[in-house]
Every structure is written in structure tokens, then in C-alpha cells.
Amino acid sequence: MTKDKYIPCLLNLFRQHGYDGATLSKISKATGLGKASLYHHFPGGKDEMVTTILNYLEQALEENIKKPLRGEGDACDRFKRMCQSVNNLYEGGQQPCLFAILLLGSARDIFQEKVGQLLESWISEIAKVLIEAGKEENIARQRGEDAVIAIQGALILAQGLEDVAPFERILQELPEQLCI
């Protein structure tokens, strides 16, 4: 059995408990694997588990964010598709972003570079669409950063308030704000 089978379970576990809070006992219970089996599938322990999840999220970023941004239609249509995909990825704001979680505690030193690369990739892809739509490069870059800030901030707010309305509002308004 491949370790990819455990990615959704591990993703949810690390989203819920963070890197430091996801103990081997919790991981074992969530996956149904004993500690020896965990190390068979993930010899590098929790670091390898999170690296596997980040690789999975990199593919999800490509498929669900970059691909809609590279698709057909004008910039606003492409941003709408991206926001629909983001909504699906985070289950309407119900799920926190693992990127933010991994930038806290001891995980930051281990995973900051990879998380930074993934965020940079997202920002750059938004900026490319805006440049194609005629925006200056520095303005496009700033709007890409602002878009990711808005999405990530709305996710944090949705979790903190236990209310997905801010997340839903941001995703509804963002395509038009980017196209102004």
C-alpha cells in the first residue's frame, strides 16, 4: 500500500493540530497504522509526512489555482475560477490553511522555504494574469500579494470567529477587485 493513501488523513490531522500538536500517537490513531508501520511508510517521521503533504499541495496548487488562471477567458473570468477552486480546496472556509499553520512553532524552521516557494508561485501566477490584462508589473505583483493576503487572512478570520462569511465575501469580491 502506498503512502499517498494517507495524505488526506495526514493533511486534516496537521491542519487540526499543527506540526507540534500532531503527535505520533495521534497520527497512528488517525491513520490506523502502528508506529512501526508509520516509519515503514515515512522513514523520515513527521518531517517526511509534512514534506509529502506539501508536495501534494504543490500539485493541488497547480491543478486548482494555476490551471484556472492559465485558462481561457478574460482576467476576471480566470480569477472567478481560481476563487471557486480556492473555495473548494478550503471547503468553503471550514478548513484552515496548512501553509499558515506550518509557519508557526518549530515547523517554521523546517518548512518555511517550501511554504514560501508555494506562496510565491501563487502570487506570481496572479501577477502574470494581471500583466497580460495590461497592468504594470509592480502593480500586478502588489495585487497578487494582496489577493493572497486577503484569502489567507479570511481563512484565519473564519477559523477564529467560527464563521465562514468573511471568507465567502472575500472570494466573491476578489475577482472584481483584482480587475479594477
Q: Could you tell me which of 129, 102, 104 has the C-alpha nearest to residue 115? A: 102
Tell me the pTM.
0.90
Those residues whose C-beta lies under 8 Å from the C-beta of residue 169, and which sit 6 or more positions away, are 154
CATH number of the domain to which 54 belongs = 1.10.357.10
The rounded distance, in Å, linking the Cα atoms of 177 and 147 is 9
115 neighbors 19 (Cβ within 8 angstroms) = no
126 neighbors 144 (Cβ within 8 angstroms) = yes
In this structure, the dihedral spanned by the alpha carbons of residues 55, 170, 165 and 155, taken in order and rounded to 10 degrees, is: 30
The stretch 45-64 carries a mean pLDDT of 94
The stretch 14-27 carries a mean pLDDT of 94
Q: Nearest-5° angle of CA 89, CA 93, CA 98?
A: 60
Count the domains in the chain: 1
Q: Could you tell me which of 1, 180, 10, 11 has the C-alpha nearest to residue 91? A: 11
Q: Could you tell me which of 20, 28, 29 has the C-alpha nearest to residue 47? A: 20
Q: What is the pLDDT of residue 104?
A: 87
Whether the predicted pLDDT of 154 surpasses 70: yes
- Exposed/middle/buried for residue 34 (C-beta within 10 Å: 0-12, 13-18, 19+): exposed
Domain range for 138 is: 3-179
Please report which confidence band the pLDDT of residue 4 belongs to, taking 50, 70 and 90 as the band edges: confident
51 alpha carbon, distance to own chain's centre: 14
Q: What is the pLDDT of residue 3?
A: 84
